[in-house]
Amino acid sequence: MNSAVRTINIDREPSSGDFRSAMRHLAGGVSVITVGRGKEVAGMTVTSVSSLSVDPPTLIVSINRESSSWPLLKRYGFFGVNILTADQLDIAERFAGKDGLKGADRFAGAGWITRASGVPLLVGALAAIDCEVDDIVERHSHAIVIGRVLDVQVSSRTAALAYWQGQYVAIDQNKDAIRLAEVSLPAPRAPREIDKPISKHRP
């Protein structure tokens, strides 16, 4: 067995705490789900968006059925997926309910447009995906929502916002590609230094 893998539980059912500790290691891209139309709108920060199929284009997201977005998602049958850039951390916090705002108040201070479905889509998101609800599987506290993609808008920006180990992390394609190249390419060799017998360096 790989010695890096630590078994955290052997003789009991995994607790929700065990499960949380495991899931902290799963880095997730941060998106805001938007629902409703007009003044009757709501939204929430999520990391559970995942592609389901490319042909036809469908995706899934897991939504807490206690959240303020859930009733509007069910009523209208449409939702938006707004994939956040690294500089939209404040939007992520607001739509996670951190400053206590609800409904339309969460949308203040950012630009929003509507497309086919009528739900608000974030101007300046890395990508904004307009979806129609295709199916819903309600399980436990959450519901798996399958969305059929109606419209897609993609930005040329590249720095994404991820969530990992309980904190937000910026992923910048340009900066991180340079850092990756630095650690994965062997450093230029200085043979004469390196090849010297170690004993010679010792007093």
Ligand X SMILES: Cc1cc2nc3c(=O)[nH]c(=O)nc-3n(C[C@H](O)[C@H](O)[C@H](O)COP(=O)(O)O)c2cc1C
Residues that bind ligand X (CB under 6 A): 30, 44-48, 62-64, 67-69, 95-97, 102, 142, 163
Distance CA 19, CA 2 (A): 20
Least Å distance, CB 34 to ligand X, is 11
And the tokens for 138? 């309600």
Least Å distance, CB 139 to ligand X, is 12
The smaller minimum CB distance to ligand X, of residues 10 and 108, is found at 108
Least Å distance, CB 105 to ligand X, is 11
Distance CA 61, CA 146 (A): 7
The smaller minimum CB distance to ligand X, of residues 144 and 150, is found at 144
Q: Which residue is nearest to ligand X (CB)?
A: 48
Least Å distance, CB 63 to ligand X, is 5
The smaller minimum CB distance to ligand X, of residues 140 and 189, is found at 140
Quote the strand ranges of the chain, DSSP E. 28-29, 31-37, 40-46, 50-53, 58-64, 78-83, 112-114, 120-122, 127-139, 142-154, 160-164, 167-171
The smaller minimum CB distance to ligand X, of residues 48 and 153, is found at 48
For 34, 103, 146, 151, the CA distances from 85, given in Å and listed in that order, are 16, 22, 24, 19
Least Å distance, CB 28 to ligand X, is 7
The smaller minimum CB distance to ligand X, of residues 96 and 150, is found at 96
How many other C-beta atoms are found inside a 10 Å radius of the C-beta of residue 106? Answer: 24
